[in-house]
A and B are shown apart, each in its own frame.
Chain A
Amino acid sequence: MAEALALEAFRIARLLVALTVLPFVVYISRDVRVPKVIMWYILSLVAVCASYFFAVVEGFAATEFMNLMQHVSLASAGVLAFVGAFLTKRQVREEGEVS
């Protein structure tokens, strides 16, 4: 029981850290000149935050479904992260061609 509570507390803390970081990421990204690239990283982070959220809810209700949703979020985060990396490569290549 104590172990489950500790795990839940950790999951909540993890979610809080991610939710604290997210506004800063969004705020800074407004000033960065490659918004279309940054957007994919932010979406990936949002998907990770969602997985943290589902992990927290998993401890209270609909365990199976929330676990599945957590994994769906992480799979989406992976795909979005790949798109972000791919667009970064393209952006750097275009910058190189321009200069």
Chain B
Amino acid sequence: MTTAPTILSLIGFVGFLAGLVVLVSIPASSGRLYNRQTKTLIIAAYAVYVYVLGIDMVETTFRGTLLGELRSLAQILFPIFLLMALMSGHAAQQMLDLRRSQTALRRSNEFMLDLVDSSPAGMLFLAPHGLIVFANKTAREILDLSENPDTGLLETAGWVSTCSCGARCERLECLLDPHGPGPYQMKIEWPTGWTIHLEVHTEPLADEAGNVGGVVATFERPAPHMVAGGPEAV
């Protein structure tokens, strides 16, 4: 005889079974909330109740059998599977957020680099130990800088710079020590005799504690009358 609990079990069974079919039909894709792990776990949770309510409807057939006894035990798994599915979805979402922010950061970095590179002014960054850590395209052209493939550092073509204060250095180290009001007049001499004169503006970069982390130097492309000597073209 059909009783109210049996009808209610049937409603629940149909609900979970229909839900199970819908969940199976959803394509899982990696990098999404509904990924393969989430799908497996949520389907397992639904399957528990399809099984439990299915057995419930024909209880008399399974009473005293292993399948009938497992019914109660299986019910414990539903909340656990649901929690695991949610945790899996949550982890996927965090990974997705991380990947998106990394992409945004990379794009922003590339954009800034393009912006600096396309500047008509030469721009370089001197580390506190005097090495040229970064130079934009214009600065590389003017100062004939090349990247060492082994170290990744920028190397000069052997030129020597002379500051208006009289200091001579192999790179542009004297710019690290502020000496008088800028801009500084720098003479760059290549071993071939090629010479250019640059007007260099500097801006020290310091952290909140005041520790100087390096100097940003900017200069314009030298005018033809400020270039003299050897065969190199600027």
Q: Are B86 and A78 in contact (CB under 8 A)?
A: no
Q: Which residues of B contact A81 (CB under 8 A)?
A: 15-16, 19, 46, 49
Q: Are A10 and B72 in contact (CB under 8 A)?
A: yes
Q: Which residues of A contact B4 (CB under 8 A)?
A: 68, 71
**For residue A18, which residue of chain B has the nearest CB?**
B79
State the CA gap A71–B18 with chains docked (Å): 18
Q: A68-B5, A71-B8, A82-B22 are in contact. Are A77 and B72 (CB under 8 A)?
A: no
Q: Are B27 and A41 in contact (CB under 8 A)?
A: no
Q: Are B16 and A29 in contact (CB under 8 A)?
A: no
Q: Which residues of A contact B83 (CB under 8 A)?
A: 21, 24-25, 28
**For residue B75, which residue of chain A has the nearest CB?**
A14
Q: Is A72 an interface residue (CB 8 A)?
A: yes
Which of B19, B23, B42, B56 is most buried by chain A, counting CB atoms within 10 A of its CB?
A: B19
Q: A29-B86, A74-B8, A95-B32 are in contact. Are A48 and B15 (CB under 8 A)?
A: no
Q: Are B13 and A78 in contact (CB under 8 A)?
A: yes
**For residue B6, which residue of chain A has the nearest CB?**
A71
Chain B contacts with A in 68-118, Cβ cutoff 8 A: 72, 75-76, 78-80, 82-83, 86-87, 89-90, 93
Q: Which residues of A contact B12 (CB under 8 A)?
A: 71, 74-79
Q: Which residues of B contact A68 (CB under 8 A)?
A: 4-5, 8
Q: How large is the interface on B (under 10, 10 to 19, 20 to 34, 35 or more residues)?
A: 35 or more
Q: Which residues of B contact A18 (CB under 8 A)?
A: 76, 78-79
Q: Are A28 and B87 in contact (CB under 8 A)?
A: yes
What number of A residues sit within 8 Å (CB to CB) of B? 44
Q: How many whole Å from B13's CB to the nearest CB in chain A?
A: 7
B22 in complex: contacting residue of A38, A70, A85, CB < 8 Å: A85
Q: Which residues of B contact A41 (CB under 8 A)?
A: 82, 86
**For residue A20, which residue of chain B has the nearest CB?**
B79
Mostly helix, strand, loop or mixed at chain A's interface?
helix
Q: How many whole Å from B72's CB to the nearest CB in chain A?
A: 6
B15 in complex: contacting residue of A21, A67, A70, A79, CB < 8 Å: A79
Q: Is A62 an interface residue (CB 8 A)?
A: no
Q: Hey, which bits of chain B sit against chain A, CB under 8 A? A: 4-5, 8-9, 11-16, 18-20, 22-23, 25-27, 32-34, 42, 46, 49, 53, 56, 72, 75-76, 78-80, 82-83, 86-87, 89-90, 93
Nearest first, the 5 closest Cβ-Cβ pairs linking A and B are A78-B15, A78-B12, A85-B19, A71-B8, A75-B11
**Would you list 19 pairs from A and B whose C-beta atoms are within 8 A, ordered by A residue?**
A11-B72, A17-B76, A28-B86, A28-B87, A32-B33, A34-B33, A48-B75, A68-B5, A75-B8, A75-B15, A77-B15, A77-B49, A78-B11, A78-B53, A81-B46, A85-B23, A89-B22, A92-B26, A95-B32
